[in-house]
Amino acid sequence: MGFFRQAGVIAAKDLRAELRTKEAINSSLAFALVILLMFSFAFDPLADTTREISGGLLWIVFAFAGTLVLNRSFARELPNDCLDGLIAAPVSGAALFLGKACASFLLVLGVQLVSLPVFGVFYNVPWTRQFPELLLVLVLGTWGLTVVGTISSALTVNIRLRELMLPMLTYPILFPALLGAMQLTAGLVAGNPIGPDEYGWLKMMVGFDVIYTAVSLALVETILVG
Amino acid sequence: MREDVLYYIPLGGTAALAAVTALIASIGFLRTRNFRFDSLARAATETLLAFLAAGIVSGCFVIHSASGRWWTWDARLTAALVCWLLFATCLMLRQAVEEPSRRAAFAAVWTVFACLDVPLVVATAAWWKPGKALPIEWTWGRFGLLAAIAVVGGLFTVVRARQEEARRELDSRRRKAFES
Amino acid sequence: MSAVAVDGVWKFYGDYPALRDIRLEAAPGTCLALIGRNGAGKTTLLRIIAGFSRPGRGQVRIFGGEPRDTATRRQVGFLGHGISVYDELSAIENLTLYGRLYGLADPPGAARVWLERTGLARVANGLVREFSRGMRQRLAVARAFLHEPRVLLLDEPFTALDDKAIAVLSGLLREALAAGKTVVMSTHQLREALELASHVALLVRGQLAFHGASTPEMAADPGYVYARYGEG
């Protein structure tokens, strides 16, 4: 069976299991809404200064809520030693990783697309004005978050303090991608297109995604098998 | 004497050398599974954290003496702080894994990830907070200071690596004694 | 060519050798029982043979191939301590998933066949989380046999099985051996194992204390091997 078909089988399995239980999605969505609410208490949502930092606030929400989905990525294989079944199967670690990353990506993106209109209402920002470009930034930033989060999930699945270690490992690595996403999103949610002096951020996000996808695919077998 | 030459560059330069050492040692471990590489990688990571922390703290004092504030989000301090967090999590990961072979493999993988991120972090911080770095005139005295601090860092790394080797040997003997 | 060949395998945890210079073989069509006390290294060795971890030194070959090769893994069925099936999926969804991963031509068809053989056909569409313990164990057996592996690696397969599951598993193992397949199982249940095993390997503190054909004395008194070759 081809590499991408195997990854597809793994992704479909994860999505089916998650959509049936909705454990990660529900908690992630609820958490996203709670953080948005709390930010509204901390900062006056309608003040101009708050609108300036709204892009950054949005990605803080996405990063925290996304972690709840990413934590489940390999953790869902722990009950019944399902990870052993996958490692014993003729599936490369890279295909397993890619399948799980794709499933997590779709789930996290789904949570973000639900949170975005709520954010738009609370902060009264014209987020639909540059929606295609905003979607591009969401996709690039979320793929970076997903790749690093999924490899962290593989690393932390069998160690102590898993729920604490995953965000501790993920967020510092994500600094370049998150900062780029925040910089771009701030302008886009205010209704401004991406300017030529911001193309560097886009390139950096693409570079980050490519590098970390490649390195994760190369090293995941070492993490799973040793 | 300019503060950045006195503090940042020797301390940051030594930290950078330690990061390169950690990267090479981690790749060495992944290829050979020889635990000497793991000991060296751990020691180099600790050296990096110590010297980078010293650089950040000295940077805070420099900022304070210039502006009365203890922190500023300039490119150098921001990058240094993020890099410090990157490698601190490598040590945290070691604490969380019980089994020695897995611990070494995981730490090696995460060190590779962290080292790949360093240039991205530095570039990102520079774009975020662009500033004009003053040109440095390198003199023998300044080279000497950089070399001296790097030598101290190297010695620290070697001593810690040997301590790690000794600790592992002791661990193994304790296990064997327990078995018999 | 041996079905399973372990050649000079060492496994280190840090500097501590959990397995020391293990050399054994299982010929095609034989059943090798790996026995030993708790902590002897049975599970460690079995997991190295199955490709879950790599040896520190030495090598393992399954029909001449590396355990981690995709082609080799297609020929191996593994039944570990856990059942390796998903609670949120139904029995047929679980087996179809594994059928796809193992590259079977008709995964749903093969799934239905094995559900029938393990007495789970009537609960094919039930979620595994609603199954009894015995049903879950039989589903795990179905998963291990689904792709008609040439080599079966079983880690304490009879532990915590109910009578029905033991009967199903024993029957399937006898069939597999009669069909020329190879079985390697680690076990504490010497009596059940020695009924099936043609060969025995005794591990004592990570070393191979005995490896050879099982004898009538072993079948008559399972403690014989420990008394003769092990720690008593």
DSSP A97-123: HHHHHHHHHHHHHHHHHHHHHHHHHHH
pLDDT number for residue C39: 84
C156 to chain B, minimum CA–CA distance in Å? Answer: 23
Q: Are C84 and A13 within 8 A, CB to CB?
A: no
User: How far apart are alpha carbons B145 and C201 in whole angstroms?
Assistant: 64
- Strand C31-35 versus strand C199-204 pairing type: parallel
Q: Are B111 and B45 in contact (CB under 8 A)?
A: yes
Q: Please give the pLDDT value at position C188.
A: 76
Nearest-by-Cβ selection for C88 from A20, A92, A226:
A20
| Reported confidence tier of residue B134, pLDDT bands at 50, 70, 90 | low
Looking at residue B8, its pLDDT comes to: 72
Beta-carbon separation of A81 and C81 below 8 A = yes
B133: pLDDT strictly greater than 80: no
* Confidence at B18, pLDDT banded by 50, 70, 90: very high
Nearest residue of chain B to residue A225 (CA atoms): B102
**Under 8 Å between Cβ of A61 and A119:** yes
The pLDDT tens digits along chain C (232 residues) read 889 999 999 998 877 888 999 999 999 999 999 988 888 899 999 999 999 988 988 999 999 999 999 999 999 999 988 899 999 999 999 999 999 999 999 999 999 999 999 999 999 999 999 999 889 989 999 999 999 999 999 998 888 778 888 888 889 999 999 999 999 999 877 777 778 889 999 998 899 998 988 887 777 776 777 777 765 4
Beta carbons of C16 and B176 less than 8 Å apart: yes
- What is the average per-residue pLDDT within A128-157? 94
Is pLDDT larger for residue A47 or for residue A180?
A180
Using a CB-CB cut-off of 8 Å, the residues of chain A touching C108 are: none
φ/ψ of residue C180, rounded to 5: 90, 15
Residue of higher predicted confidence among A117 and B4: A117
Chains adjacent to B (≥3 CB pairs closer than 8 angstroms): A, C
Q: Considering only the beta carbons, identify the residue of A80, A81, A90 that sits closest to C101.
A: A90
Select from A89, A101, A142 the least CA-distant residue to A7.
Answer: A101
Q: Give residue B146's pLDDT.
A: 83
Region A167-196: what's the mean pLDDT? Answer: 91
This prediction's pTM = 0.91
Predicted confidence (pLDDT) per residue in B47-67, tens digit:
999 999 998 998 888 888 888
> Per-residue pLDDT tens for B135-169?
666 778 878 888 888 999 999 999 999 999 998 88
Q: Do C13 and B99 make contact, defined as CB atoms within 8 angstroms?
A: yes
Contacts with B80 (C-beta within 8 Å, 6 or more apart), sequence order: B12, B52, B55, B56, B59
Given a cut of 70, whether residue A162 has pLDDT beyond it is: yes
Q: Which of B101, B106, B116 sits opposite A223 (nearest CB)?
A: B106
**Residue C45's closest CA among C232, C151, C204?**
C204
Does pLDDT of A116 surpass 70? yes
